[in-house]
Amino acid sequence: MPETITAGSDGVKKWMWYNIMSDLEVQGDLPGVVIYPLYTGPHSCSGILGNNRLFISWFHNQGLVVSMHEYSQPLVDAFSAVVGYEPFCRYETPGDITTVEWDKIDPEERFSQMAAKPHFFYRNLVRLEPKPKTEPGEKDETSS
């Protein structure tokens, strides 16, 4: 099930801050994410999960970037469940902030571009491989 996109007061379709929280809890099975309504833009927002500060940017049906002060696999898994595709890379940005990127259109090309032009913003760039798909009722051997 994809992100819950609704029309804002200006008529533009958006992934509203309250829908992000609800989608992560209901679709991603991750309660506790708080998005700050005063720190949202048309394609970005900030929030918190426990003590972990989050910065989120997205373009619906194209890509998602989540930066976090402490890496959280449950958060990455929840966003993957919501958007319906897996992240393709992970890197550190200045201040030791971990960033994970999803690209629905062409993750291979995006990774190639990032790897070809090393940048101070992409420290420790790592290609992430998609998780193996499991059939309903089948145990996921990668989780414990």
Could you report the per-residue pLDDT of 104-132, keeping only the tens digit for each? 999 999 999 999 987 777 889 999 988 77
Q: Using CB atoms within 10 Å of the CB of residue 129, give its burial: 0 to 12 exposed, 13 to 18 middle, 19+ buried.
A: exposed
Name the band, by pLDDT with cuts 50, 70 and 90, for residue 139: low
Report how far residue 42's alpha carbon sits from residue 13's, in angstroms, rounded to the nearest whole number.
9
Q: Return d(Cα 136, Cα 134) in angstroms, integer.
A: 7
pTM: 0.87
pLDDT of residue 137: 61
pLDDT higher than threshold 50 for residue 143: no
CA neighbor of 73 nearest in space, from 19, 131, 34: 131
Maximum CA extent, the chain: 46
Reported as a single tens digit per residue, the pLDDT across 36-88 is 999 888 899 999 999 999 999 999 889 999 999 999 999 999 999 999 999 99
The 8 Å CB, 24+ separation contacts for 15-24 are 15/58, 15/60, 17/45, 17/47, 20/45, 20/47, 20/56, 21/47, 23/82, 24/75, 24/78, 24/79, 24/82
Q: How far apart are CA 42 and CA 23, in angstroms?
A: 17
